Structure 1
Amino acid sequence: MGKKSSVSILCFILISFSPIFVSAQTCDEAAGTFKPNSPYEKNRRLLNSTVASNVTAYAGYFNGSIGLGPDRVYALGMCAPGAEPQACSDCIQDASDSLLSTCLNQTDGFVWSGDEFLCLVRYSSKSLYGVLALEPITPFHNVMDIRKENQEEFDSVWDGLKLRMITRVSSSVRNNSSTSSLSLSGKYYAKDVAPVPVYGNILVLMQCTPDISSNDCSLCLETSVDYYKKLYHGKRGVIMLRPSCFFRWELYNFSGAFDHINDPPPLSNSPSVPNLTDITKKDNNVSRGVIAAIVVVIVVIIVLIYVGMFMFKRRKKKQDIQLSTESVQFGFKTIEAATSNFSELNKLGAGGFGEVYKGILMNGTEVAVKRLSKTAGQGEREFKNEVVVVAKLQHRNLVRLLGFSLQGEEKLLVYEFVPNKSLDYFLFDASKRVQLDWTMRHNIIGGISRGILYLHQDSRLKIIHRDLKASNILLDADMNPKIADFGTARIFGMNQTVDNTSRVVGTFGYMPPEYVIHGQFSMKSDVYSFGVMILEIISGKKNSSFRQTDGLVNNLVTYVWRLWENKSLPDLIDPGIKEDCKIDEVVRYIHIGLLCVQENPADRPTMSTIHQMLTTSSITLPVPLPPGFFFGNRPGMTTLSQGLNPSQSSSKSYTCSVDEATITDVNPR
């Protein structure tokens, strides 16, 4: 091999793979910013300075926080299992320093750092423990391709290895009942190798942060694999870095974790990526001057890349709405064709907002198209802004917005298609309700709580849904719940807790008294609605199915309260699930539902507390106070005369319904 060809290959290797020899840090621009020298910045610097020592002290994993209120900073640090303590400490310290110097004023950031990404450091303005974070993603890939004639055979081996790996990683939990950092440090880590013709070995390494659940770990890795297949399929190696997981595969031994693997001998027709050591051995005649020149060129390229990234980030904030909107926009003709010109045969439902149709895009993807009423008062700019907001909501218990179409008076929203219709379709039909056993209802309640918790606390925006009800909970093929219909949702500021409106929108029976009477809404409004749904799911009865009896206005909430006072809560349980459930567990859920519908918003628990109550049976539940809209004869209790006719109000404009469909005026918010 001549000197010229050796230098060319050396340049290729160093330039193509140069990103993986440096820290891959990501500053989350969308999460928010802080002011220089603010308490948040001081807390961030203080906490990051302690991560390295804490990770070493806690056997490779640490999760902690410092500060109070909006100035509180959370941090997480971890090293790969088996890392030497000193190497781990040095890697964490370098990673922490790089985050501070790169993320100058962003409230969230993460970095995988060190040789072969030995360690991870994250910080955030929100709690990190147990929260799955799929975004932002930082990908790298090998620039060389698998030969087309080998692709099918290669994919067969790769897919089998991938399935085996994800199963191993998501179940690799230590047999240790302790919840300390020590017991967490060895979870969710696996490596494997599979021989493949022509190319030798496929080497795969996967890892998740040890605080998330097994299912979330599996989801994170599967999402990374899908991302690889969509964008980089056919490449000879890829690295996917997310805040909650790490995934890498190569055709060469890229880590000490694979030292027991013997690299296959090079074949004359093998397209394997050359190894830097092999090149050095084959050609010792490359002059030091040439190598020095190559290093200078590489440094210049890396500097230019970082300057470009810096300039891009400055422009990104100004262009965010435009780019986000354009990236999910469909042509009206495309949606018209997908729905067979909005055929009646494809109609899934209708309401005050408009109509919903099933459609099939040209690539075979099934979608649900919401065609907003042409009389809606929402303008083009406000419509686009709403689309951008909803498009950023990514959670398995929220219906995913795929895109939109805007042409003249036509405003269309394109969602993922959810095959099993809505929860009310099953719950309030005697013949279909039998399909919902207690295990399924238990999972549905848990999934809805996770979705609301994401909206209130874990998403980039604090969102109040304002119209949570059984008909707005869709069920996927596996009967997992997905919250839908964000037409009435409001966005809150980070420190905002309550807001008022002169136009009440929603569905009677699910709206709390402070909202109906005073137009006041908050996260506790959604909590009230969730409590009503818990009682409906357990009883199989609509909140609105109770009518005036014995001169008293009755509903499901007041009925359950009387059962509580009479100590007969088991009477609420749907007879169809009594035989296959633990009565004490179901009664506990009824108790939680009553806590959610208490009259005073301050008495209702937050969604994070509710989620803990639902998942941890050892938590003692407080005694509930009487609910809102309890039409009893207690002195001082707020009462509404015989059902509350919205038309009697002179100070507010109501847009709501009593039973099924919500009539929504979509106005700029």
Structure 2
Amino acid sequence: MIVYYSMERTKLNLISIIFCFLLFLSFKQLITKAQSPTYVGDDCNYTKPKPLTNAYQTNLNSILLNLSNDAATSKGYNYTSIGDNNTTKVYGLYDCRSDVVGFFCQFCVAAATREVLQRCPNRASATIFFTICILRYSNENFFGKVITYPAWNHLGDKNVSSVVEIQKGEDFMKGLIRKATNQTNQLFYMDGFNLSSTQRRYGLVQCTRDLTNEGCGQCLETLLSKIPKCCEHKLGWQVGCVSCLIRYDENMFYLHNQSPSPSVQADPQTGWLTPAYEEILNADLPTIPLITIQHCTGNFSETSKLGEGGFGSVYKGILPDGREIAVKRLSSSSGQGSEEFKNEVMFIAKLQHRNLVRLLACCLEGNEKLLVYEFMPNASLDFHLFDDEKRKKLDWKLSLSIINGIAKGLLYLHEDSRLRVIHRDLKASNVLLDHEMNPKISDFGLARAFDIGQIQANTRRIMGTYGYMAPEYTMEGVFSVKSDVFSFGVLVLEIISGKKNNGFYLSEGHGQSLLLYTWKKWCEGNCLELMDSVLEKSCIHNEVVRCINIGLLCVQEDAADRPTMSNVVVMLASDTMTLPKPKHPAFSIGRMTNEDASTSKSFKDPSNNDVTISNILPR
């Protein structure tokens, strides 16, 4: 444990200043272009350097690496130890400010682990402070120990205007302490209260999260008892120690309220009771502060906008560590935005596959509903597929690779994931391409999960995209895994032909859909005429014919005649397997819709996590 007890008064004052800046510097003032969190100080001047054994140094390096890696996926804190005996064992802890979790916490901890060894060489114990996190390590076990000495305080310039506020402020802070330590193991709480009709006050209490509820309460009560002597006549004040802190202010200094919310709430569209969003934002998906996203996207500037659709807009952003992201900003005016947000968080956050786009984080602050995805530098499939110039880059080897990747992604959703998910809106604009042109299925706003043993479901709200929807879904509201198979079949035929199913009967002058045109050519024995001319030089004819066969099998009118995605993957992988003969495909002429004109033409940058434009059909 780091020993503070022999510090002189001047040293205590310095520690006070360090902690003050560490935990409470305004987050808005932190962020500058693509920089790491700001170093504030350390305690290394109060310990003497001493050569470390090789075993201890190795364990120290390991624990710092582990803490840094852990911060990428944790809720903002962790503590652990490495080593087998007392002479080589190292104890380590990081703790980010409670209103900062996810990416920015990770950046802070990573910076701290890098710099602590540079600033504190040859120390068996050290503590380093950054603006929003603390990192500690020691050769002695300090976990769970309440350290309230030395305590420090920092006072604002303004005085309180009345004794009433002093009493209300004290009662308010006692309430925060109760909520932080009331058998929740949360160990922090932040909130505000109305002092009058025109004045509001804000407070935060927090303990290092290696403590128990009892230990946290002991620490916070000890600090609160110091308030009358040091701080109660000031409008803003902060009191802290190694294990906990309290702050009171007239300004809202924290980034967002993480206080518990009701467990259910009514959906504004359906009136159904659904889990509150704050409960959906669980450990499976980190949150990211709104102010970080605003900074990353230039406050959602037009220059950072990638695309726009019915649910809102998509923006490109650059995180403080230089990583590129795509941010879907769901429109507050979209009645379907709340439902889509819930679906994206509930489904894709729980699914991990190389052919599914990765949802990195989300943000729900104020009226904003934001989803943060990995950035796809090669945009969506339709961006290339339906553009005469960009289409030339899609040779047959790449086209077949994309078909296989989409099939494997769907197979994972239907049979191999934790949830059995029906996507319901598979289309070219919802297949994104990474830097190596690997396909990733995106946009789970319309997705639905099936229970074990459930085969199909019905809905009265038909939502999707014309030309990709299976006939039983369009006409009767019946959807199943076979609905996605139908959409996949349409997509295969679009990839091979380079033509959209939507509007094909008008644009090509054939007077029929792409599906019926393909069927006609198949029956004539001329199915290769369907193939786009750009594939002629690179294609292997029997592979193209096999894919056309599979595409036609997937768009059969009767859902029972369509293969499962597991069968599709096997058929795609086999050169010798005899394929079933397709039947007449579903009658689908498609329709010209806003979707036809918006998806590819809305790109301002070669990436887009496309926002679905859905069409609601009456029944």
Q: State the Cα deviation string for residues 352-411 of structure 1 (Å, max 9, x = none).
A: 011000001112221000000112336879845741432111111111000111112210
- Cα separation, partners in 2 of 1:551 and 1:470, compared to 1, 3 Å: closer
8 Å CA contact 2:469–2:483 kept in 1: the answer is yes
SS at match of 1:532: helix
- Cα separation, partners in 2 of 1:420 and 1:658, compared to 1, 3 Å: closer
- Cα separation, partners in 2 of 1:465 and 1:380, compared to 1, 3 Å: closer
- 2:58 is equivalent to residue 146 of structure 1: yes
TM-score after normalising by structure 1: 0.48
Q: Which residue does 2:492 correspond to in 1?
A: 534
Q: Say which of 407, 422, 425 aligns to 2:380.
A: 422
8 Å CA contact 1:507–1:658 kept in 2: the answer is no
Q: Which residue does 1:663 correspond to in 2?
A: 613
Count of paired positions? 348
Q: Say which of 449, 455, 470 aligns to 1:512.
A: 470
- Cα separation, partners in 2 of 1:561 and 1:474, compared to 1, 3 Å: same
Q: Which amino acid aligns with 1:328?
A: P
- 2:288 is equivalent to residue 338 of structure 1: no
Q: Say which of 340, 344, 363 aligns to 1:405.
A: 363
**How far apart are residue 645 of structure 1 and its match?**
9.8
Q: Which residue does 2:398 correspond to in 1?
A: 440
Matched ranges for 1:466-615 at <5 A: 466-548=424-506, 553-615=511-573
8 Å CA contact 1:463–1:492 kept in 2: the answer is yes
What is the CA–CA distance in structure 2 between the aligned matches of 1:539 and 1:619, rounded to whole Å? 24
**How far apart are residue 482 of structure 1 and its match?**
0.6
Q: State the Cα deviation string for residues 497-531 of structure 1 (Å, max 9, x = none).
A: 11111111111111111111111111101101100
SS at match of 2:463: strand
What is the CA–CA distance in structure 2 between the aligned matches of 1:381 and 1:573, rounded to whole Å? 39
8 Å CA contact 2:287–2:363 kept in 1: the answer is yes
TM-score after normalising by structure 2: 0.51
**Between Structure 1 and Structure 2, which shows a larger proportion of helix residues?**
1
**How far apart are residue 663 of structure 1 and its match?**
2.3
**How far apart are residue 585 of structure 1 and its match?**
1.2
Gaps of 5+ in 1: 1-141, 155-228, 235-317, 632-642, 647-655
Indicate the larger mover: 426-435 or 594-603.
Answer: 426-435
Q: State the Cα deviation string for residues 535-559 of structure 1 (Å, max 9, x = none).
A: 1111111112422599984111111
Q: State the Cα deviation string for residues 604-643 of structure 1 (Å, max 9, x = none).
A: 0000000000001221111111001167xxxxxxxxxxx6
Q: Say which of 320, 325, 328 aligns to 2:286.
A: 328
8 Å CA contact 1:449–1:611 kept in 2: the answer is yes
Q: Which amino acid aligns with 1:514?
A: E
SS at match of 2:282: helix
8 Å CA contact 2:423–2:484 kept in 1: the answer is yes
What is the CA–CA distance in structure 2 between the aligned matches of 1:491 and 1:339, rounded to whole Å? 33
What is the CA–CA distance in structure 1 between the aligned matches of 2:55 and 2:362, rounded to whole Å? 34
Higher RCO, Cα 8 Å, sep 6+: 2
8 Å CA contact 2:556–2:585 kept in 1: the answer is yes
SS at match of 2:393: coil
What is the CA–CA distance in structure 2 between the aligned matches of 1:460 and 1:326, rounded to whole Å? 13
Q: Which amino acid aligns with 1:146?
A: T
What is the CA–CA distance in structure 2 between the aligned matches of 1:382 and 1:532, rounded to whole Å? 24
Q: Which residue does 1:365 correspond to in 2?
A: 323
Q: Which residue does 1:98 correspond to in 2?
A: none
What is the CA–CA distance in structure 2 between the aligned matches of 1:372 and 1:452, rounded to whole Å? 25
Q: Which amino acid aligns with 1:460?
A: R
Q: Which amino acid aligns with 2:493?
A: L
8 Å CA contact 1:469–1:533 kept in 2: the answer is yes
What is the CA–CA distance in structure 1 between the aligned matches of 2:313 and 2:408, rounded to whole Å? 28
8 Å CA contact 2:510–2:517 kept in 1: the answer is no
8 Å CA contact 1:377–1:665 kept in 2: the answer is no
Q: State the Cα deviation string for residues 127-183 of structure 1 (Å, max 9, x = none).
A: xxxxxxxxxxxxxxx9955288999xx9xxxxxxxxxxxxxxxxxxxxxxxxxxxxx
SS at match of 1:560: helix
- Cα separation, partners in 2 of 1:507 and 1:383, compared to 1, 3 Å: closer
SS at match of 1:324: coil
Q: Which residue does 2:119 correspond to in 1?
A: none
Q: Which residue does 2:117 correspond to in 1?
A: none
